[in-house]
Amino acid sequence: MNFRSDNTATVAAEILAALTAVNDKPAPSYGEDPWSRKLEDAFGALFEREVRVFTVATGTAANSIALASAVPPWGGILCHREAHIERDECGAPEFYAGGAKLVLIEGEAAKISPEGLKDALGRYGRDVHAVKLAALSVSQTSERGAAYRPDELAALGDMAHGAGLAFHMDGARFANAVAALGCSPADITWRAGVDLLSFGATKNGALAAEAIICFSADYAEEIARRRKRGGHLLSKNRYVAAQFLAYLENELWLKLATRANRLARRLGEAAGAHLSVPVETNQVFIKPGAAALVKMREGGADFYDWGAEGSGEARLVVSWNQSEGDVEAMASLLASLR
């Protein structure tokens, strides 16, 4: 029973098949191929408006290149204390942005609240001695599996734009958020003021397919340059484009995410009072204590501890193709702890 991460899962059959389908003859390199050229239309349809799309190899690259293109080196990037860009990217945003500063905000379920944002906006002075706050970055879903509702995002977006900040969303698990909220992708992005989205497919069935979606063409030239300089412009880009086209076709992305969310809810019900955060998407956080975690591992469960060392908290991630059997076995284990 492997619940360590959705990035341990395999690649969806539809996506793997797409690689073979584009492998028939030479094609222009560096994104000039027919499949790469279809990407902006495909994403445009998904988001109900014109967009610019830049594929990259990882979510770290998507986040860092997007943010670097929106903030000056002396900029401050507001994010949650538990944000992936803060804790899990070895300072990649600082590297790409030439030494920008991440400014940390607290908040329940790894979500930024308007109060938290307001407080942070006043944290630095406005003159040349302090960094200049320049971007707000949120994770949808959050690092604690929570999904921002459209109105919540719109409120943050208004505050960000009012303060002259760009609004970035880390959408490593964007599909899970849409599946949970039952809204359109547009509702939680540009309609709520999001300027730049890191759109992830790797965790939800792709092999390695991440993209920066620009809702403003202003960032495009800079992103194109930073992508090349970062070594993220792939010569045989059609094999990335093909993954995305298969991912978007027939709402594969939504089906896979919906299934994962559903199975995660099943675990949430089994965990009951041991949940440390309500289950909204495909991540389940439990805090049954250290002894119970030992027992779970003895029962064959594989997962990461979470939070402070020795806190007795753990994270269970349900992948797009997690077996029903695994989920039932885990649910039984969780129920046995109550």
Measured between alpha carbons, how far is 6 from 202 in angstroms, rounded to an integer?
A: 9
Closer of 236 and 295 to its own copies (Cβ): 236
Ramachandran region, residue 220 (left: φ > 0; alpha: ψ -120 to 50; beta: rest): alpha
Q: Tell me: does residue 234 bind its own copies (CB under 8 A).
A: yes
Q: Tell me: does residue 90 bind its own copies (CB under 8 A).
A: yes
- The alpha carbon of 82 is separated from its chain's Cα centroid by a whole number of angstroms, namely 13
CB of residue 191 vs its own copies: minimum separation in angstroms?
Answer: 28
User: Contacts with its own copies in 150-189 (CB under 8 A)?
Assistant: none
**3-state SS class at 2:** strand
CB of residue 128 vs its own copies: minimum separation in angstroms?
Answer: 5
Of 42, 66, 67, 92, the one binding its own copies (CB under 8 A) is 92
User: Do residues 250 and 238 lie in contact, with contact meaning Cβ atoms separated by under 8 Å?
Assistant: no
Q: What is the DSSP string of 173-242?
A: THHHHHHHHT--TTTTTGGGT--EEEEE-GGGT-SS-EEEEESSGGGHHHHHHHHHHTT---TTTHHHHH
User: Contacts with its own copies in 237-296 (CB under 8 A)?
Assistant: 239-240
Stretch binding its own copies (CB under 8 A), from 28-36, 134-142, 144-152, 328-336: 28-36
Q: Tell me: does residue 130 bind its own copies (CB under 8 A).
A: yes
Q: Tell me: does residue 9 bind its own copies (CB under 8 A).
A: yes
Q: Tell me: does residue 235 bind its own copies (CB under 8 A).
A: yes
* Closest to 65 in 3D by CA, of 217, 186, 229: 229
Q: Which residue has the tokens 């495009």?
A: 220
Stretch binding its own copies (CB under 8 A), from 17-25, 146-154, 255-263, 281-289: 17-25
Q: Tell me: does residue 60 bind its own copies (CB under 8 A).
A: yes
Of 42, 46, 77, 100, the one binding its own copies (CB under 8 A) is 100
* Closest to 123 in 3D by CA, of 115, 113, 133: 133
Q: Tell me: does residue 300 bind its own copies (CB under 8 A).
A: no
